[in-house]
Amino acid sequence: MSLKATSIHEYFGELTDPRSNSYTRHLLMDILVIALCATIGGAEGFNDIELYGRMKETWFRTFLDLPNGIPSHDTFNRVFSLLSPEEFSKCFINWTQSLAKKLEGVVAIDGKTLRRSFSSASKTTALHMVSAWSSENKLVLGQIRTAAKSNEITAIPELISMLDIEGCTVTIDAMGCQKDIAQKIIDSNADYVLGLKGNQGNTLDAAEFLFKCEEKDNFRTCLISFTTNINMVQSVKKVKGWILMRQSYPSDVTREQFETISYHFETFRKVTRPRKYDLYDIFCACLYVLKGGCTWRGLPHDFPNWQTAYHYFQMWSKKDDIEEISFLDKVMRELVMSERIMLGREPNTSMLIVDSKSVKNADTAEEKGYDARKKLQA
């Protein structure tokens, strides 16, 4: 009697049988077909698989050999414990993708710890599996076990590599919100929706800010350039632990210019706890008030609060008893000098001739002279 081959025979045919031929009473393909059908039917253990097989034995004999009847639950347990997980996973994924035909829609990837999979006697931890679920086909596309002393972050890219997710939307919880995972999905020509929680504070703050900006424009230009459309500060990005999420102003210095004098600010006074505000933003707030002439209470709200900016301004404006110059004047002079040097000019400004009837000569002036025409001293 010629039995009809199933799709399981086709895709699991290359699976290696780990048993010795001399002690084999049941065919590997019979064991696999019964186990898979029973699992789909709701079986939760090897006892359930044996019971399912005996209840459906007449049906199974229409396309399986079953030379010695239905295998016992011990046989199912022993065979599956000997199978190569990598080989079985590869065959299983190819089989499920053939059933799904063209994979499309949402593919949800999530990890779960299997109940009662740990063993106190052998001191083994619980089994943690990462699964890919096709919402369109109502089917598990693949599973992979997380490595020992590892987590889902390392297992998810391996699972994605096994699947053909082109054109799909992959959803992962906050555990999978990683750059490498997102890039892996993009390389597979798929889209992604990643969960984001407070454990990634900087990224969460940036995402919330972007949504607030888009909400003002009714989300009409979600792929805008912030430097041109909303006039953001050098884009929203992380710079030395700080997220730049502030509108730029004409009074601002660039981040690169501030780096040339930042060590003065860091060593101005001893810091005993992490800073709440970026000194760059506070310095720009002081420049905004000095150049614009507004009141401290009129400082724009995207700067640090005006009380903080004013507190720093008071500290930086105190004159040093020795040099008789304030800290703020000192860093501003150094900033101007560094910019002049970068432009190929002399560090100090050139001689100034003032057209006035009365000129007060500064004691520090290196060159003095007279305007012969107007008889003015300079």
The torsion angles phi and psi of 132, rounded to 5 degrees, stand at -115, 120
The torsion angles phi and psi of 223, rounded to 5 degrees, stand at -110, 50
**Residue 240 reports pLDDT greater than 50:** no
Q: Taking phi first (over 0 means left), then psi (-120 to 50 degrees means alpha), and beta for anything else, what does residue 83 get?
A: beta
In angstroms, rounded to a whole number, what is the distance separating the alpha carbons of residues 361 and 378?
Answer: 7
Q: Would you state the pLDDT for residue 225?
A: 40
Q: Would you state the pLDDT for residue 263?
A: 82
The mean-pLDDT minimum among 191-200, 231-240, 323-332 falls in 231-240
What does the chain come to in residues?
378
Question: Which of helix, strand or coil describes residue 370?
Answer: strand
In angstroms, rounded to a whole number, what is the distance separating the alpha carbons of residues 127 and 83?
Answer: 17
The per-residue pLDDT for range 259-310, each reduced to its tens digit, is: 888 888 887 777 667 777 788 889 999 999 998 889 999 898 888 889 999 9
Q: Would you state the pLDDT for residue 34?
A: 94
The per-residue pLDDT for range 9-58, each reduced to its tens digit, is: 888 888 888 887 777 889 999 999 999 999 888 898 899 999 999 999 99
Q: Would you state the pLDDT for residue 236?
A: 44
pTM above 0.85, yes or no: no
Collect all residues with Cβ–Cβ distance below 8 Å to 323 and sequence separation of at least 6. Answer: 330
Find out whether 204 and 197 touch, Cβ atoms under 8 Å: yes
Cβ atoms within 10 A of the Cβ of 252, count?
Answer: 21
Q: Would you state the pLDDT for residue 18?
A: 87
Q: Where are the beta strands (DSSP E) in 114-198?
A: 128-134, 139-145, 169-172, 191-194
Q: Would you state the pLDDT for residue 229?
A: 38
Average pLDDT over residues 332-352: 81
The per-residue pLDDT for range 50-88, each reduced to its tens digit, is: 999 999 999 999 988 899 999 999 999 999 988 988 888
The per-residue pLDDT for range 183-215, each reduced to its tens digit, is: 999 998 999 998 888 777 677 777 777 777 666
**Residue 372 reports pLDDT greater than 70:** no
The per-residue pLDDT for range 129-177, each reduced to its tens digit, is: 888 888 887 878 888 888 766 678 888 988 888 888 888 999 998 888 8
Q: Would you state the pLDDT for residue 32?
A: 92
In angstroms, rounded to a whole number, what is the distance separating the alpha carbons of residues 131 and 108?
Answer: 8
Of 292, 345, 291, 285, nearest in space to 313 by CA: 285
The band of 358, judged by pLDDT with boundaries at 50, 70 and 90, is low
Q: Would you state the pLDDT for residue 237?
A: 43
**Residue 327 reports pLDDT greater than 50:** yes
The band of 258, judged by pLDDT with boundaries at 50, 70 and 90, is confident
